Structure 1
Amino acid sequence: MNERDFADLAAGHALNALSDADERAYQEALAGHPQWELHVRRAADAVAAISDTIEPVEPPASVRASLFARISELPQEQPAFAADPLESDAEDFAAAGPAPVDPEADVPRPAASFGWGRRRWFTLAASVAAVLVLGFGAVTVGQLMAPPAAVVALEQIEQAPDARSASTTMADGTVATAHWSPSTGQSVLVTDGMPALASGTTYELWFVRGETPIAAGTFEPDADGKAVAVLDGEMHAGDVIAVTIEPAGGSPDGTPSTEPVVAVATA
């Protein structure tokens, strides 16, 4: 089992959606690879976040039926490392089309071990549907549990041998920390306490190179003013990472409209 497959199992474990066989495989893999514990924490945190932020809703029966039909149409990988003997002799249900679904029926639970193929993904996706209302979108467990790109970039920077950071605290109490790594070519700004903005405005990132500001993308902090934002473009040594308040969508002419509300010197 590779790390990606374990991450999928960790998502299923957090959702209490694994068969007995997959639960055993999950526990054995975790015992053999304790460094994969981070996937367990991520999955648990994601499920907790969902339960904390989504109000319980009773979906109409038609949503459940439509969701199951969409799941049956999703393409699934068939990894070569773990062939499922039941899959090899099974009817090609994808070619035959989705089977009729009784909206009032209980979610089916396979009695036998089902490997890493279509049936495991079906069970996981059905469990996600029990946690929140997905509407009619095709959402996979991997997409749900995947960390944001900015978090991934921050982890890559922190793990790089040339990782560097610099922090500043502004007069209003905002704390901003820039993280960067020349070897990864990435830079990230982490904020805490950014003030809420008026409607129709956004925060915009800049590399200030000498006297020249270079736009590097926009971001929106959460209700606590926290954000992890990747800067677009290449950072140069000595750049100041700045944040201004701009119209929604960013500066219309590519230059700052206000004085910086955050400025982090990296030299």
Structure 2
Amino acid sequence: MGAGGLAAAAVAVLLLRGPETPAVPTAAAPTSATGADGKSLDDVDTMISRLAARLEKEPNDGEGFRMLGWSHVMTGHPERAIEPYKRALALLPNSALVHSGYAEALAGASGGKVSAAAKAEFERALAIDPKEPRARYFLALWQAQNGQQKEALEKWIALANSGSADAPWQVDVRRQLTEVSGKLGIDVSSRLKNPAPKVEGASAVTAPQLDPATVQAASALPESDRAAMVDQMVAGLVAKLKANPKDADRWVLLLRSRMVLKQPDQARSDLDLARKSLAGDSGALGKVNAAALELRVPGA
């Protein structure tokens, strides 16, 4: 796949994944897109429904149930993912991906809080695969949510140093490192062996997410169809921001999408609009400005 195709796949991942909190994806699924032949492509909900229908006829497909659960989480409905993941767990009890995926769904359904049940599933995932990054990430998040921010910071530093700079989970980890170290007044930059992950271009294709299957799914469409889908998804994001211009997370998502698609001029325009829209909300404005600096948006 060429750089343009990788960029399109990256934005599809970004927009399916939603704003940057990994346990609480909130972006809505696209309604439809138009393929190169002029026919309407199936929307995400239709594809998920087809997978669910197929699994009714193939009830022993553990990987299929994992993908169904994953699809619900990716499209902002973690509560719908819980039952498919339970089926997947019954069929694939030794899969770290299933345990961590189920735990992420539990966390998402709880508004981002890592509950005792989710923590137990992440721990089971690590018992199977001690390197499983999603489980390591969320177990540190549990610590941060339970008064152990310094301990969580150490876990995230170790996780950040355990993989390459362009590993799929680095953006989420670095975001937490920046936020928590800032709250604690601790400079951890000298302890990080890799530079902050870049988001521009093809090298950042997997940055927003923790499950590499995301990129495979986004890349499966023909390039022209994928580009059409991405255009519509970005347009949908813009429409949501027009309806609710106070949504800082979606402004960040839009800026990230523009930079991945190599649209710096449009990103700068979006940044100006975001600043106007969020004037008076220092917290939201700070989040957008920090993201713009990280993404190297012109004018940041």
Q: TM-score, normalised by structure 1?
A: 0.22
More RCO (CA 8 Å, sep 6+): 2
Structure with a larger share of its residues in helix? 2
From the CA coordinates, give the structure whose radius of gyration is larger.
Answer: 1
